Structure 1
Amino acid sequence: MPIRVLVVEDSPIALAILKKILSSSPDIEIVGTARSGMEGLELIPEACPDVICTDFFMPHMNGLEFTSQVMLRYPRPILVVSASVQEEEDTHRIFQLLEAGAVDILPKPKAGLDSDNIRLKQALINKIKVLSGVKVFKKKHGKSQPHSAFNRHNRIASSIKLSSRPKILAVGSSTGGPLALQKVLASLPPDFPLPVVCVQHISLGFLQGLIDWLSESCHLPIQIAPAGERPKPGNIYFPPERQHLEIDRQGRFVHSKLPPVDGHRPSVTTSFKSIAGFYGRRTIGVLLTGMGRDGADGMKTITDVGGLTIAQDEATSIVFGMPKEAIALGAAQHVLPIQAIGPTVLNVVQQFVLGPQ
């Protein structure tokens, strides 16, 4: 059966472009269109979409309120398709939609045949196919984590021991990654003693918005890794857009435009392998939710050199592809719920604050 898609978009031109792109795939059926979030909300019970595409700026009910209402009343995978990601002052608003429950984001395609636009059109179809198979988590406003779960996560964290003092934390993620990253990074205190290198698959134009949004909840400074500099403790680094991020033999950041690995540039595996090559067993590698297999081979390299590896579990992953591939390779030493990953990393690092060097 084709994937049923509801498109919520107030611009007639943008709506026509989206309908043309989605209709070009025999695997997708547009079951409804709406000009506002309010209209879209009314259509959901009748249209029964598998996936919803929504813009951010719309009359009567914007994308943020619409997403919040959908997740409360009719939980569905939501893809944000918006031109506002290209306006710097609006990028943080797009990531608020992810906080509200949207699964992924994509720039709005334009009419034309340039290579970037053709790539964007194919990305839209691919994302719809991916999202049709993901689970969503109904939002429960005002409810905190049960005390029993908190204690269980603490027990998990305190049970993992290391023989060597860690020197770097490397994190990889893809679909569903921004929220997972937020949970992990926000749990690190201002005096966290390791550099953190993150590789998140994200569409062109979204990276600075992601950094700005994460900065609101994180205690550590976040930046694009400067080429030629060494990673500094207590700093979080991301690769530049469309470039791999590696560590050279002198321990300095290197940007690379070598071909994509596992379909991605930047690639999690590329960064993981490079980091493991320099830091060896003093590497902590974390692989979070995401589609595909990028990161699995890189995590195996970290395991093989004696580092610590943690994969997000299936129950808390939006898409279990990347962690699943790492587990299948025997690359993940520990498989943990997202709530336990930050405390576990912190506990492992704190073992060495007054311990062996």
Structure 2
Amino acid sequence: MSIRVLLVEDSLLALVILKRILNLSEEIEVVGEARTGLEALKLIPEVEPDVICTDFHMPQMDGLQLTTEVMTRYPKPILVISVSVLENDTDHIFELLEAGAVDILPKPPTGLATDNEFFRQELINKIIILSGVKVFKRKRRFISKSEQQWQIDSTTVHNQIDRLIKIGNTAAFSSDFFPKPKVVVIGASTGGPQAIQELLAQLPSDFPVPVICVQHICIGFLQGFIDWLNKSCSLQIQIAQPGNVPKPKIIYFPPEKQHLELDSRGQFIYSEKPPVDGHCPSVTTLFESVAKFYGKKTVGILLTGMGRDGAKGMQVIAEAGGFTIAQDEATSIVFGMPKEAIQLGAAKQVLPISAIAPMLLNLVYKQTSTLS
């Protein structure tokens, strides 16, 4: 059965080109076209798409308003096909993800009319992936820095850990079995921006270990992603610089198109080695490098994402004696990377996204607690 796609784009030329591209795939059928968000809302119950592809800038109802309405009325996987990336647009794109869109794909800077094989393949691949993801009718409301201070202020962290960890059918867990972490590494792909935001927003401003993240993301969107995270995170966020040593209270990301590693002195270095599992920067490359330097004092977290990047790296962390956490299937938009790690036996804990930050606080602040 074909994947049913609804295209939402105010440019008639772009609509024609997008439809022509998708018609190249035997797995995809374009079942509807809309020039505005209002038109799209009327079409959705009629054509029942599996995936919605929408632009951001449109008259009457833009992509953000459309996404909000769709996720409230009849949730569907949404792919944002954005205009060429501009500094003042990237922040809006991540607001779309926050509203419920699953992924983003920038239009080629030279326009859709150019012969761009990479864009064609990316578009088809993303639609195929999105057709199999889970979406939820209600999404967690955005929590601003001021609203969340009561729960992440460092003076209340110890009192909040037991409250934050859900207690149901529980098994005893004690962080005393593991050494206090010296570093936390996080990897994610599809669905990662939303998961990373939820996790990092719960960490206090004086979180005593550095956090290093790799998020697979389209070229040109990294700074916008960081700016968006800054709205909800209390920790400083920056792109790692060569020669610097990871410091507490800071979240680091690699630059675009380069692997991020630690050298023998624990300093950041960039690497232009070939992509690992199809990705540069690679989660596995970071995980292996950090495990080599920090050993059993490493915490590795693998979140939602397509493919297998990070699974072997998490295995290296586990073999070094570090603590490893994989996001569970129920809360992963795409249960690919975490599943690979679990199948390798590399995950010491498999947790819903809501329980990962509390577990991390438990490990870092050395409290004994319970977990579901």
For the superposition of Structure 1 and Structure 2, which TM-score range results when normalised by the shorter chain? over 0.9
Matched-pair contact (CA < 8 Å) for 1:276–1:301: yes
What does residue 165 of structure 1 align with? 180
TM-score, reference length from structure 1: 0.92
CA distance in 1, matches of 2:222, 2:303: 18
Q: Answer whether contact 1:157 1:340 (CA < 8 A) is retained.
A: no
Report how far residue 226 of structure 1 moved. 0.6
Q: Hey, what's the Cα distance between the residues in 1 that align with 2:171 and 2:113?
A: 51
Q: Output aligned runs, 1:341-356, within 5 Å.
A: 341-351=356-366
The alignment-based identity, stated in percent, is 63
1:30 aligned to 2:30?
yes
Query: Following superposition of structure 1 onto structure 2, how do residues 116-155 of structure 1 map, counting pairs within 5 Å?
Result: 117-139=116-138, 150=164, 152=166
* Structure 1 counterpart of 2:339, one-letter code: K
1-side partners of 2:137 and 2:171: how far apart? 26
Q: Following superposition of structure 1 onto structure 2, how do residues 219-234 of structure 1 map, counting pairs within 5 Å?
A: 219-234=234-249
1:92 corresponds in structure 2 to 91
- Cα distance in structure 1, aligned partners of 2:141 and 2:320: 43
Indicate the SS of the match to 1:284.
Answer: strand
Superposition TM-score, scaled by structure 2 size: 0.89
C-alpha distance in 2 between matches for 1:161 and 1:173: 28
Matched length: 345
**SS at 2:4's partner residue?**
strand
* 1:52-201 mapped onto 2 (5 Å cutoff): 52-83=52-83, 86-109=85-108, 110-113=112-115, 117-139=116-138, 150=164, 152=166, 159-201=174-216
Take 1:324 and 1:97, find their aligned partners in 2: how far apart are those partners?
A: 27
Q: Distance in 2 between matches of 1:87 and 1:99?
A: 19
Aligned to 1:281: 296
Distance 1:103 1:193, change over 3 A: same
Aligned to 2:335: 320
Task: Tell whether the 8 Å contact from 1:316 to 1:337 is kept in structure 2 after alignment.
Answer: yes
Do the aligned partners of 1:22 and 1:30 also contact (CA within 8 Å) in 2? Answer: yes
Give the aligned partner of residue 154 of structure 2.
none
Residue 17 of structure 1: CA displacement?
A: 2.1
Alpha-carbon distance, 1:151 to partner: 5.1
Counterpart contact for 1:157–1:343, Cα < 8 Å: no
CA distance in 2, matches of 1:245, 1:295: 13
Alignment of 1:197-276 (within 5 A): 197-276=212-291
**Offset from partner CA, 1:46-91 (integer Å, 9 cap, x none):** 111100000111111111110011111111100000115x111121
Unpaired runs of 5+ residues, structure 1, are 353-357
Q: What letter is aligned with 2:200?
A: L
Query: Hey, what's the Cα distance between the residues in 2 that align with 1:265 and 1:161?
Result: 36
- Give the gaps of 5 or more residues in structure 2: 144-161, 368-372
Q: CA deviation at 1:165?
A: 2.0
